[in-house]
Amino acid sequence: MKIFLSRSPLALAAAFSAAVTVAVPSFARADYPPIVDPTIAGSYLSARIASTERDSDAAVAYLRALLKMDPRNEEVLERAFFAMLVDGDVEDSIPLAERLVKLDRSHRIARLVLAARAIKKNEYQRARTNLSLSVRGPIGDLTATLLAAWTMMGSGNAKAGVEMVDRLQGPDWYAAFKDLNAGLILDAAGLKKDAGKRLEAAVKFDPSSVRAVDAFGRWTSRNTGIPAALEIYQNFEKLLPRHPLIQADIAELKAGKTLPLLIKTPQEGSAEVLYGLGAALARQGGEDLALVYLQLALWLYPEHPLASLTLADLYEQLKQPQQAIQVYEKVPGDSPLKRNAEVQMAVNLDAIDKAEEARKHLQALIKQDPKDLEALVALGGIERSRKQFAECVKTYDQAIALIPTPQRNTWTLFYFRGICNERSKNWTQAEADLKKALELFPDQPHVLNYLGYSWVDQGVNLEQGLDMIRKAVALRPDDGYIVDSLGWAYYRLGRYEEAAGELERAVELKPQDPVINDHLGDAYWKVGRKLEATFQWAHARDLKPEPEDLAKITKKLESGLDAAEAEPPVKQASDQQKGG
């Protein structure tokens, strides 16, 4: 279970995703072997291919080589600039930013980088100059204004900075960013009363914003009292329980300690702006620009408690687990978020086929803290996906034991344990788990599908089981696996014409699934469409099915379904087909 790193200020709408789309890949900092005898054409094509495939190491290497061979090429300059920037190599991107603004005076990202450099060097007027020259737009206006406001605080005029923020007109979603940053600026400047009003407004606008709640809770602990601050954090816990940063703050307050400022300097404040906007962009589909903002945030403030995890989470979205691991490894050992980073690092180790290393990593965490539910859930998920069903039953046993009163949000634990029990041939316990999951979450389509199919497959509770699967299909009509379950249930009941119709629809929804294609072949054979059955089996064979299924498909292609069915055991549907 991932923690909530941040929340968007209600609806950021399409403005974020439409703001700036950077047509370059996402990169992570890494060494890459030198390119031998590069050519301009070869390096250019290689860089484009690497960018398309998000091979970050290769893309950066080829773009750097291109820049050396053709330093006046504006397209190469632009691509290399972005490659270095999203790779986290901000220092190397700065000279390119200086060249880009000579070619395009209002280049938005180049001006942003130059402004960030000025902020880092306490050159606040120069930062404002660069921000004022950048291209305008919803994201650009908000970014430039908030950063300029923090530079005003650095210049000793916090109130003027807040006035800049208040003058900014724009969409409704601006409000949360404006109130939070105005409050943080005022708090850092020692203007306590005004800071409290603005931070309270930010929390009212979005009570689920971790940063707004943390900023207001900290302010309250110092200015109103520890009991009032505790109430703020405890109210947040009701919305989003077990957030590590919030739990750490609550522990400090219960120990009688007040909490320090969330943001102390213009550099930290600017990083907060870039982090907040970067996190929101990542959620709204603007991954490339989000990478730029998050890398700049970390360059300005490497110890930002959430920027690193948000960057790693973004790499996960982009299916770059190795880069995510590198970011998780850098989370400081004393951070309240370190344990969450360790759990997610194991999940990503599994994603790069280091399952045993991932399991050992999680087992070590659980040994340190046997009550770590997140680590147990992650371990159970890895064991289940790797078909280590006996092991995952024990892991889910341990996780469920930590929940004295199961609630709706814990239905997945019983559902997953039910799958593992069923696959371990322990149907009595599996059935009890699946029924418990439905008790906690009635009409949950995956549970309805799995339990209903299991009954039909065993020839028990046939009508009830079929009704469950039909209900699951009604709830998830575009889920090819659930539609396949309905078709295969009809097949098991001997209703072959109905089976063929449903399985045809399942194949349309999941055309590349070998099991569904195999099922459709069986149904076609039963209704006399033997040529089409052979085609479906051949297609299923070519889609790389599981070895045990491949042997059965090959037998059917050689001898037909009748001969294959004469050889037990009857094929059992996969976890996927049951919705697992």
Sort residue 37 into left (φ over 0), alpha (ψ -120 to 50) or beta.
left
Write out the two tokens for 77: 């300059």
Task: Convert the pLDDT of each residue in 278-329 to its tens digit.
Answer: 999 998 888 889 999 999 999 999 999 899 999 999 999 999 999 999 999 9
Looking at the chain, how many residues does it have? 580
119 & 156 share domain: no
577 falls within a domain: no
pLDDT the model gives residue 53: 63
CB 165 within 8 A of CB 134: no
**CA 177 vs CA 23, 271, 357, 441, 511: distances in Å:** 27, 13, 41, 36, 44
Contact partners, residue 296, CB within 8 Å, separation at least 6? 85, 90, 112, 113, 116, 271, 274
198 falls within a domain: yes
87 falls within a domain: yes
User: Domain boundary residue among 280, 307, 334?
Assistant: 307
The answer on pLDDT for 275 being more than 90 is yes
127 & 160 share domain: no
160 & 247 share domain: yes
14 falls within a domain: no
DSSP code, position 33: P
Of 406, 430, 410, 431, the C-alpha closest to 420 is: 430
192 falls within a domain: yes
The answer on pLDDT for 192 being more than 60 is yes
Secondary structure (H, E, C), 265-333: CHHHHHHHHHHHHHHHHHHCCCHHHHHHHHHHHHHHCCCCCCHHHHHHHHHHHCCCHHHHHHHHHCCCC
pTM for this model (two decimals): 0.84
* pLDDT higher at 44 or 400: 400
The answer on pLDDT for 571 being more than 50 is no
Q: How many CA atoms lie within 13 A of 443 on its CB side?
A: 4
The enclosing domain of 24 has a CATH number of 1.25.40.10
280 & 357 share domain: no
Instruction: Please report, rounded to a whole number, the percentage of residues in the chain having pLDDT higher than 90.
Output: 76
- The CA distance from 555 to 541, in Å, is 11
Q: How confident is the model at residue 43 (pLDDT cuts 50, 70, 90)?
A: low
**Cα 211-135-161 angle, rounded to 5 deg:** 45
192 & 269 share domain: yes
427 & 469 share domain: no
Write out the two tokens for 475: 């709830």
204 & 298 share domain: yes
281 & 180 share domain: yes
- The CA distance from 283 to 320, in Å, is 17
Q: Please, what is the average pLDDT of the chain?
A: 89
147 & 282 share domain: yes
Task: Convert the pLDDT of each residue in 485-511 to its tens digit.
Answer: 999 999 999 999 999 999 999 999 999
- Total domains in the chain come to 4
pLDDT the model gives residue 158: 97
Of 375, 339, 336, the C-alpha closest to 359 is: 375
Question: Is residue 182 helix, strand or coil?
Answer: helix
Task: Convert the pLDDT of each residue in 423-476 to its tens digit.
Answer: 999 999 999 999 999 999 999 999 999 999 999 989 999 999 999 999 999 999
10 falls within a domain: no
The answer on pLDDT for 18 being more than 50 is no
- The CA distance from 29 to 56, in Å, is 8
408-422 CB burial, b ≥16 within 10 A, e <16? eebbbbbbbbbbbbb
pLDDT the model gives residue 237: 94
77 falls within a domain: yes
Q: Phi first, then psi: what are they for 376, rounded to 5°?
A: -65, -45
- The CA distance from 118 to 140, in Å, is 18
Contact partners, residue 175, CB within 8 Å, separation at least 6? 9, 205
pLDDT the model gives residue 86: 84
353 & 329 share domain: yes
pLDDT the model gives residue 25: 33
Question: Is residue 549 helix, strand or coil?
Answer: helix
CB 340 within 8 A of CB 356: no
Question: 512 burial class (0-12, 13-18, 19+ CB within 10 angstroms)?
Answer: exposed
Range of the domain at 357: 308-440
* pLDDT higher at 64 or 422: 422
312 & 424 share domain: yes
Residue entry with tokens 């893309």: 59
The answer on pLDDT for 264 being more than 80 is yes
Task: Convert the pLDDT of each residue in 164-176 to its tens digit.
Answer: 999 999 998 899 9
Task: Convert the pLDDT of each residue in 134-180 to its tens digit.
Answer: 877 889 999 999 999 999 999 999 999 999 999 999 998 899 999 99
119 & 205 share domain: no
User: Domain boundary residue among 69, 104, 134?
Assistant: 134
Task: Convert the pLDDT of each residue in 63-103 to its tens digit.
Answer: 777 777 777 778 888 888 988 888 888 999 999 999 999 99
- The CA distance from 447 to 450, in Å, is 5
In the chain the first and final C-alpha atoms are separated, in Å, by 18
CB 418 within 8 A of CB 448: no
The answer on pLDDT for 342 being more than 50 is yes
- The CA distance from 579 to 475, in Å, is 13
Least confident interval from 35-44, 113-122, 222-231: 35-44
The answer on pLDDT for 540 being more than 90 is yes
Residue type for 68, please? K
Task: Convert the pLDDT of each residue in 231-252 to its tens digit.
Answer: 999 999 999 988 999 999 999 9
Helices 138-154 and 108-120, axial angle in degrees (round to 10): 20
pLDDT the model gives residue 490: 95
Residue type for 380, please? G
157 falls within a domain: yes
User: Domain boundary residue among 134, 162, 177?
Assistant: 134
Instruction: Please report, rounded to a whole number, the percentage of residues in the chain having pLDDT higher than 70.
Output: 87
